[in-house]
Structure 1
């Protein structure tokens, strides 16, 4: 029975056709599960807004790319080309020396030359310091081994042992092949005339920047105008030779020519040096100017310096004091005052003035230098005797305001505009002070109470020589090539300040000063020379005048029949009892004029 029941159960469970083999509820659940699974495998439709968003992003990307292409190809095209060119080319600027400076006769005054510098690097020595010094000393003749060793102790590397070495010396040093010893090439400004032209040319420092004279004032003119060169290079950075211009190493060879004559300059300096030594003077200066155009033929200051070794000189010697220092001109200004009085019509050449030897102004007693009177004298004799008393009486005849305006017309308180650095303006008292105090008119009449530079005084006497024109003193003639052809010249201003008739009368009066007056020491037989001596007290830094300190001077004009040259000699603080413009400055002027006559071929007067 048990077996039969078991068999029945088995047959039911194994029969696939039997409707009762699977329960109804379970079948229903399986069918439902299968239906849900098939639905999941089917693709879900994409919403429209997502589709539009994707297309929008793609469209914006396309627009952005188009805009970028437009920027690169159109807007930034030139800029990108320049960047590409800068990557493919290299900008080189070859070393270009400064222009040479020459005098009026084409003598070299300043030029650039190749030289060598010896550097040592003790940290790299393979020999001992004593061994290296022993090898260097015989070549560097001015340095002992011990001196060289002392230099080695300064630092471990980059010690400059010697500068300005000649090529032969440099080659001998290189031949030693010592580790830690280096010879470098460089260019240096060289002044072959040494101190002869230092006052004019000036110098450049170690950075090749002008520091004085023409080297400073004409810095731009001395720089050669060579543009930078762009040459192609390979991907490895090397320069392609075919891209180099054929005239790479050529630059224009124009030189800066000056009006100075070195032959005259050398002679003038020698004459001045002798006189300074004779009178133990503090310093002196000589200026020679062509009054027709203002060109300076000589400009000397003593003592001076060597521009090749400027660092060894005192600072005060590096400036040209004929344009930077003021002084009271004294009696050398009297011819100019005479010209003003003649121009104003208050005197004539034959006017007679009584010189008693003393005049009192505002309670101040004014004497002549001789302490004596000259009696009745004409205007020429006023200059011959250098009478202070007569000058006071002459200038009193002018209305104070008129006199002041005429002094202003001379441009005393203005610069000459010379092409040298450091020029200062003269000093003329304030108009109110000048008008209110009679002593101001009195002192101005004999060249005191105001101050100017020696260069300004030369400019004013140049106006007497050339018919009344105020010319600009200058040193630069222009740019010339190696054949002497002038390619460029500066323009200098000229203005009329005194009538030609008056200047002719004054110059002829100045001739009598040399012939029969205080300027006899400058007289040269056969030549008509005009002049005026001056001996002025030196103003103190706090007002008043320094005791036993004076400036002696002499100014001359020649030849009288056709005035062309002005010569000024100034000697500062000569020592001794007989120190006047006639005894100290005039003899120097004679030597200078003698040389000028010889060099310029000035014929004797008829």
Structure 2
């Protein structure tokens, strides 16, 4: 048996030393890489893990009425957030049940968010009042506060009047930006500019003291002051909402304007937008019908035909026409609202009694081009220029496209479409001696020191002569006060009122044709020294349909309130005697 030979100890030691040298060199190389070559990269990564950017939201400016009463205001609130990874699985259901009544969020929704244990941040509820947020953070389970729960400072947009001037004011979305109305049109000015800050946080989420931080202060938004008078707006909304309900109508609008400035004192719609609950409303009810809903004006449009005829010298208020109850125009036989034998009406009588046939006879003396030009001059077929959100231009067909019968129907308000604001502007022009003033809804903006910066006055444009405006005013006064007039329900005791009814077939896309009616009344007072103009329009009423019975009472109610609120006294004068007919 051969003797056992042991290995060379020196060789084993050498191999071991070589192996150790290789391992140490690897560690050394890694250290050189970490502390030398890649040190800046890892420093930056570590810093990014510690440094947390935080936005500093700017406080949104308020929207107020003409007297400074708040219609939209921003208040401090909190967003309640959670770190699901810190909530033990066995406590999630209990935490959800505890939080649900405070946050107004279903327990199931909270539990589902807390079950996402891999994420570090989830929003449980936004716009929570500060007091509620404080109470939530004090809630305990098993004698300890709920882990991973925190409150993030935020601003909440509130609308103290709920639906007061809702279509005009508009609302903001979840991210705080304006979506409709003044909120959208003046979003940049109202929103201001958000700030930001960065702070260093530890692994447990606590702020590391004495570490670097940067901060850029937010710039608060400016305020917007409207021309709307809160009290008149409220009265207008009440009146139109009541009439829409009582008449079974689809919708309605009321506008009140200052004749001398073109400023809108009230712009009401029914249904109106509840700004604190806008998310639950159908899209059709989120806009401002006064500027977005177009309709055929009917007989309220006859003042434009009258203006064209008077300006051309084709008629005078006392010009007499033999008016029958029917009129053949191209391929259509047009008629007055009620059958009657031949009548000898003055032009004033034609307007006061709202005769379609008499209006067509006067239009014949003017010609299509002159009538078209007058419609354009009064603002038909174009936006008013006041910067109203969602405003439509209406429809005025080019004169070259008018059919044989259309040249007649346009004269008494069918075949053209307008908005309520456009029609109110027409009567503001007449009341203002023939000078149109661009309608205004914004009185000015308010800076950080609560100083009002007034908006520029509306553009003034002469449309008709002062004499023509005066002639039409007296015709419109007869349309309210004279025997046989169509607007008697708009009369206001002690005041001289000038106005006109309108009843037109309503085009409806649902029936792909004319079905239902649009009832309108528009006028101004005092007739001899006009201060206010108001329009009421009711769409598709089911209980009655004439403007004189449906819209005129709304005009009377709203105008009576506005006169008292604005402290406008009667002039104390008596309306001049006018002749409507030579019969009898």
- Structure 2 residue matching 1:162: 3-state secondary structure: strand
Residue number among 296, 302, 321 corresponding to 2:264 in the alignment: 296
Asked if 1:161 corresponds to 2:124, the answer is yes
Instruction: Give the Cα separation in 2 of the matches to 1:97 and 1:484.
Output: 14
Distance 1:228 1:150, change over 3 A: closer
Q: Which residue of 2 aligns with 1:130?
A: 93
Q: Which residue of 2 aligns with 1:41?
A: none
Is 2:171–2:275's contact at 8 Å kept on the other side of the alignment? yes
Is 1:255–1:481's contact at 8 Å kept on the other side of the alignment? yes
- Structure 2 residue matching 1:203: 3-state secondary structure: coil
* 1:239-318 superposed matches below 5 A: 239=213, 255-318=223-286
Q: Which residue of 2 aligns with 1:554?
A: 521
Instruction: Give the Cα separation in 2 of the matches to 1:396 and 1:213.
Output: 42
Q: Which residue of 2 aligns with 1:62?
A: none
Asked if 1:175 corresponds to 2:138, the answer is yes
Q: Which residue of 2 aligns with 1:30?
A: none
Asked if 1:392 corresponds to 2:360, the answer is yes
Instruction: Give the Cα separation in 1 of the matches to 2:447 and 2:193.
Output: 15
Q: State the 1:129 CA deviation.
A: 2.2
Is 2:191–2:221's contact at 8 Å kept on the other side of the alignment? no
- Structure 1 residue matching 2:224: 3-state secondary structure: strand
Is 2:254–2:537's contact at 8 Å kept on the other side of the alignment? yes
Distance 1:493 1:396, change over 3 A: same
- Structure 2 residue matching 1:196: 3-state secondary structure: coil
Instruction: Give the Cα separation in 1 of the matches to 2:553 and 2:308.
Output: 29
Distance 1:323 1:374, change over 3 A: farther
Residue number among 513, 525, 531 corresponding to 1:564 in the alignment: 531
Residue number among 343, 346, 350 corresponding to 1:375 in the alignment: 343
Structure 2, gaps ≥5 residues long: 1-51, 140-144, 199-209, 573-584
Count how many residue pairs are aligned between Structure 1 and Structure 2. Answer: 504
Q: Which residue of 1 aligns with 2:397?
A: 429
Residue number among 396, 409, 432 corresponding to 2:377 in the alignment: 409
- Structure 2 residue matching 1:204: 3-state secondary structure: coil
Distance 1:138 1:544, change over 3 A: closer
- Structure 1 residue matching 2:533: 3-state secondary structure: strand
Q: Which residue of 2 aligns with 1:102?
A: 64
Q: State the 1:461 CA deviation.
A: 1.2
Q: Which residue of 2 aligns with 1:209?
A: 177
Asked if 1:463 corresponds to 2:429, the answer is yes
Tell me the TM-score normalized by structure 1. Answer: 0.77
Is 1:275–1:584's contact at 8 Å kept on the other side of the alignment? yes
Q: What CA deviation, in whole Å up to 9, does each residue of 1:489-541 have, x standing for no partner? A: 23432211111111011011111111131111111110011110111001244
Is 2:167–2:288's contact at 8 Å kept on the other side of the alignment? yes
Q: What CA deviation, in whole Å up to 9, does each residue of 1:42-82 have, x standing for no partner? A: xxxxxxxxxxxxxxxxxxxxxxxxxxxxxxxxxxxxxxxxx
Asked if 1:238 corresponds to 2:212, the answer is yes
Q: Which residue of 2 aligns with 1:9?
A: none
Instruction: Give the Cα separation in 2 of the matches to 1:276 and 1:99.
Output: 34
Residue number among 85, 108, 111 corresponding to 2:73 in the alignment: 111
Instruction: Give the Cα separation in 1 of the matches to 2:438 and 2:183.
Output: 20
Asked if 1:352 corresponds to 2:315, the answer is no
Is 1:396–1:441's contact at 8 Å kept on the other side of the alignment? no
Residue number among 163, 188, 196 corresponding to 1:195 in the alignment: 163
Distance 1:357 1:156, change over 3 A: farther
Q: What CA deviation, in whole Å up to 9, does each residue of 1:303-353 have, x standing for no partner? A: 122222321111111221222222110001112211111011000010111
* 1:324-363 superposed matches below 5 A: 324-363=292-331
Q: Which residue of 2 aligns with 1:66?
A: none
Instruction: Give the Cα separation in 1 of the matches to 2:359 and 2:326.
Output: 12
Q: State the 1:239 CA deviation.
A: 4.8
Instruction: Give the Cα separation in 1 of the matches to 2:321 and 2:117.
Output: 78
Q: What CA deviation, in whole Å up to 9, does each residue of 1:420-447 have, x standing for no partner? A: 222222222222223xx43122101111
Q: Which residue of 2 aligns with 1:453?
A: 419
Q: What CA deviation, in whole Å up to 9, does each residue of 1:12-41 have, x standing for no partner? A: xxxxxxxxxxxxxxxxxxxxxxxxxxxxxx
Higher CA-based Rg: 1
Instruction: Give the Cα separation in 2 of the matches to 1:484 and 1:352.
Output: 60
CA RMSD after TM alignment: 3.1
Instruction: Give the Cα separation in 1 of the matches to 2:117 and 2:382.
Output: 53
* 1:495-574 superposed matches below 5 A: 495-516=461-482, 517-541=485-509, 545-547=513-515, 549-574=516-541
Q: State the 1:147 CA deviation.
A: 6.8
Instruction: Give the Cα separation in 1 of the matches to 2:512 and 2:356.
Output: 19
Instruction: Give the Cα separation in 2 of the matches to 1:510 and 1:442.
Output: 22
Distance 1:210 1:482, change over 3 A: closer
Distance 1:484 1:513, change over 3 A: farther
The structure where helix makes up a greater share of residues is 1
Is 1:358–1:373's contact at 8 Å kept on the other side of the alignment? no
Is 1:121–1:180's contact at 8 Å kept on the other side of the alignment? yes
